[in-house]
Amino acid sequence: MELRQLRYLVALAEERHFTRAAAREHVAQPALSQQIGRLEREVGLPLVERTTRSVALTQAGERLVERARQALAAVDAGRAELQALAGVREGRITIGAIQALGPLDLPLLLAAYHDRYPGVELAMREEPSETLASLLQRGSLDLAFLSLGEQVDQRSLAFRQLATEEMVALVPASHRLARRKRLRLVELRDEQFIGYREGATIRHVLVAAANAVGFQPRFAFESNEVARIRALVARGLAVAVLPRSEAQQSDDPIAVLELRGPTLRRDVTLAWHTGRAHSPAAAAFLDLAQQAELLGAVAPDSRGPAS
């Protein structure tokens, strides 16, 4: 039983798909499948149930994954202790991020880290906040930039809020409300919306606020691509609610309106697992990320208090 086989099995358990698990582990899909097959032959039990669309773990697979996570965590902790003796010279860290970071300039932060520690490999994973929190809890990420909301499981996690910004309404330039500077959210109750997909904090904030004022938003379109959302609004297909920094990044024929009653806000927050020993490389990135304001990686008018 090899460590790489255990890592492949854990990746497969979390991704539920051979191709995605292989991409995550930076190996070819046939190679990952071959190693899982060897592991099954070694233990003498089937570990996964394969179908054309997805992968499910058998009872034996679930039990081995639980033990594999413990073993891999112990190995990673030992590696971290050894790296601490040598300093931050090499290593690999995996960073999670929501797609729309708005006032946070993550590329600038990554570039600053790379300049300081060129021997460390950086890996990125883009997911909704809810998924990022789960990945942190499972130890699949070193840290993540997410947006907090009621749907985000905060157990075993620590947070530092880096920024906060208001959310605004987007309507087509030809819309009956386009000449207004501001409006109440309830005035959009009869509109069709373009929204982020399920799991996104921005969508959750909108739905909760709409429910509080007496209506359920009707989503005609779903997309996590901000440019596509703005383009669909510009074509007159629906309205949208976005963070201000994401709403004003194009010359699309749209009107951006302040929302009142209630005012909606979203945060950009740095998160990490409180019970996991960070490698020196990950600890160095965590320290740098908490200085994002000093690096100029956060827009001055959107900086949030430490939490």
Kindly report the backbone phi and psi dihedral angles of residue 7, in degrees, each rounded to the nearest multiple of 5, phi listed first.
-65, -40
Paired sense of beta strands 254-260 and 182-184, if any: parallel
Cα–Cα dist 9/12, whole Å: 5
1-86 CATH fold: Arc Repressor Mutant, subunit A (1.10.10)
Please tell me the predicted confidence (pLDDT) of residue 306.
44
Please tell me the predicted confidence (pLDDT) of residue 307.
42
Please tell me the predicted confidence (pLDDT) of residue 92.
83
CATH 1.10.10.10 residue ranges for the chain: 1-86
Cα–Cα dist 47/193, whole Å: 43
CATH 3.40.190.290 residue ranges for the chain: 163-266
Instruction: Using CB atoms within 10 Å of the CB of residue 251, give its burial: 0 to 12 exposed, 13 to 18 middle, 19+ buried.
Output: exposed
Cα–Cα dist 283/103, whole Å: 23
Cα–Cα dist 141/173, whole Å: 42
- Please say whether the beta carbons of 91 and 279 come within 8 A: yes
Please tell me the predicted confidence (pLDDT) of residue 302.
67
**Has domain 163-266 been given CATH number 3.40.190.290?**
yes
Q: Which stretches of the chain drop beneath a pLDDT of 50?
A: 85, 305-307
DSSP character at residue 193:
E
Please tell me the predicted confidence (pLDDT) of residue 56.
86
Residue 3 neighbours by CB under 8 Å, 6+ apart: 71, 72, 75
- Taking the CB of residue 26, how many other CB atoms lie within 10 A of it? 8
Tokens of 3: 């460590």
Find the distance separating the first CA and the last CA of the chain, reported in whole Å: 43
| 235, amino acid identity | R
